Amino acid sequence: MLTIATPELLVLGGAVPPGDAHAVSVQLPTWADTVGWSVREPRVVNALLTGYPRFMIPRTVTSLSKRIAKKCLEGGGFKSQSVDKFFVLLVSTYRHAALCQRSLRQKMEPGVEPSDIAVMEISWDGTVTRVDGQPEAETASPGLGKEPIFAITHPTELQLSARYFWQHTGFGISSRRSDFWLEQGPFGPEEEEVEVPVGPYDANEVNTARAAMRSRIAAGNSAPEENVFLYSGGMAAITETAMAIQTLRDPEQNSSCCAAVFGFLYVDTFKVLTNILGYETTLYKYSDADVDQLEDRLRAGDRLDVVFTEFPGNPLLQCPDLGRLYKLSIKYKFLLVVDDTVGCYANVSLIASCDIICTSLTKMFSGGCNVMGGSAVVSPHSPFADDMRAAMQAGYQPGQWFPADVLVMEKNSRDFVERTRRASANAAAVAYMLRNDPLVEEVYYPKGSPTQHIYDSYKLPEGGYGFLMSFRFRSSERAAAFYDALETAKGPSLGTNFTLSCAYTILAHPHEMEWAASYGVVKELIRISIGLEGEDWLKARVQAALDAASRVD
């Protein structure tokens, strides 16, 4: 299934796409439903069958976590003796578990013992072992997909911090890995018989799929395949990149790494840098004046290790002046990392104007909205290329991306370029339509934006202007009327084969609206990720929603 024929039939809390056990979006059909989710209204929360996996831990993972927590408690050594007050967070590698343990211990409250925040290695045979350092590699693997899971134990007081780690880093295990463990592993049903998938996974098939994607991404970015690193999610790619950059620092330097976040970036990028990895992070907007400010700071002697930015940005679709930023990075010896998830190599070529490109493969590279993945590409043009590739390789563990997810992503992404350009053409038509409607105060889309000249300097001759747009009305009432009447799938995520809309600011920044508004991300903002439906289908639904908004005084 590529598109959803009758999205108006989707109900609150239902999986998007419908019927998919591994869907990465959830239907929020009305403005009030989105507000209800933002304040955790029971009516909305209780209706949700799923959600974006980093924002809402999948139910299958919660089920496996409870069983593993019980097993850990049985081994003793923890202050808590109640399974209701003892939790675990599940990740795929010891390296990720150690980072989580360190992060949680820094947030300990009075009464919490360091020993309560432990790393436990969960083997396929059900053995649970407390790990105090990097475990030795096993001489014989139990099979692909059966590698150990690592659990970070923590009491109730740190449950929120653990959830933030899950959300910001993207290091949590996937729903497919959890299902595999529940169906075939030692923590599955003990009484009833269940039909299980074939496993372990065929190594040749998985390695071939992984190699095909590396080749695909390398060719699209004009980079060698050895410069491409695949991860379990887009935020995992960004977090791993930031961790690798930290290792390039002179060990004698005691100060924290310094980062600049240029533009209104995806919310978790800033938070993982600052709250998890300990970067000293400064936020800048997109304008030339902000680049001037950054340059003045560098000229005055301030040290900077890395600048993170997006091209174009989400949700306002502005384009930073990569050429100028890259020249500054070379002159002042810092790295420039670009998230091209919205732009993507089907439309733009950025590799010669940055050091690293990070991409959420979950989005249009997959398009199916049913699998998570991410990539980082080290630019062969970067003066840091050799050091950065070595640093990324040193921490790289291909097994963190579950085999079933690899296989689904590879299949989904075979026609990535074709799908992206088709969705981009649709989006350009819808953006033109919205710009010519007097009800719409402003449309944010690369074509026709104040920074289109920057986008055009990187646009491929056959590329488009992307599948994502945002726009605003003059009042929340009109925005709500439009949103409620718009007959598309509605929920988190973007870059789906079907059109997916959301009340962006309420969904992404419900508790920091004043701060978001200072960057132009206002409450009335609606974001639409345009899909592969016919242009007439899209225009008819957008027009019907505009008509509904026009009836609001």
Q: Alpha-carbon distance 534 to 426, whole Å?
A: 8
Which residue bears the tokens 């733009």?
Answer: 348
Digit-coded pLDDT (tens) for 53-88: 999 999 999 999 999 999 998 877 676 666 778 999
Q: Which residues contact 390 (CB under 8 A, 6 or more apart)?
A: none
Nearest to 532 by CA among 394, 414, 367: 367
CA atoms within 13 A on the CB side of 488: 34
Q: Are 112 and 94 in contact (CB under 8 A)?
A: no
pLDDT confidence tier of residue 137, bands split at 50, 70 and 90: low
DSSP structural state of residue 81: -
Strand positions, DSSP E, 82-183:
86-91, 119-122, 128-131, 149-155
Among 99-103, 197-201, 397-401, which stretch is predicted with the lowest mean pLDDT?
Answer: 197-201
Dihedral-angle region of residue 382 (phi above 0 means left; psi in -120 to 50 means alpha; beta otherwise): beta
Whether the pLDDT of residue 265 is over 90: the answer is no
* Tokens found for residue 299: 């000229």
Q: Distance (Å, rounded) from C-alpha 523 to C-alpha 399?
A: 41
DSSP type of residue 115: G
- Predicted confidence at residue 139, as pLDDT, reads 47
pLDDT tier at 132 (50, 70, 90 boundaries)? confident
Measured CA to CA, the distance from residue 234 to residue 222 in angstroms comes to: 20
**Residue 31 pLDDT > 50:** yes
Measure the CA–CA gap between 151 and 72, rounded to whole angstroms: 9
Confidence of residue 253 (pLDDT cuts 50, 70, 90): confident
The stretch 471-485 carries a mean pLDDT of: 96
- Residues of the chain with pLDDT > 90, as a percent, come to 85
Window from 84-98, 155-169, 185-199 with minimum mean pLDDT: 185-199
Backbone angles phi, psi at 129, to 5 degrees: -130, 130
pLDDT tens, residue by residue, 421-457: 999 999 999 999 999 999 999 999 999 999 999 999 9
Q: Could you tell me the strand order of the sheet in which 119-122 lies? A: 86-91, 149-155, 119-122, 128-131
- DSSP H helices, 106-184, are 159-169, 175-184
pLDDT tier at 1 (50, 70, 90 boundaries)? low
pLDDT at 312: 97
Q: Supply the mean pLDDT for the chain.
A: 94
| CATH numbers and ranges of domains, the chain | 7-50+416-550 (3.90.1150.10), 59-173 (no CATH), 203-412 (3.40.640.10)
- Residue 117 pLDDT more than 80? yes
Taking residues 248-267, report their average pLDDT. 83
| pTM attached to this predicted model | 0.95
Please state whether beta strands 489-490 and 500-502 pair in parallel, antiparallel, or not at all (unpaired): parallel
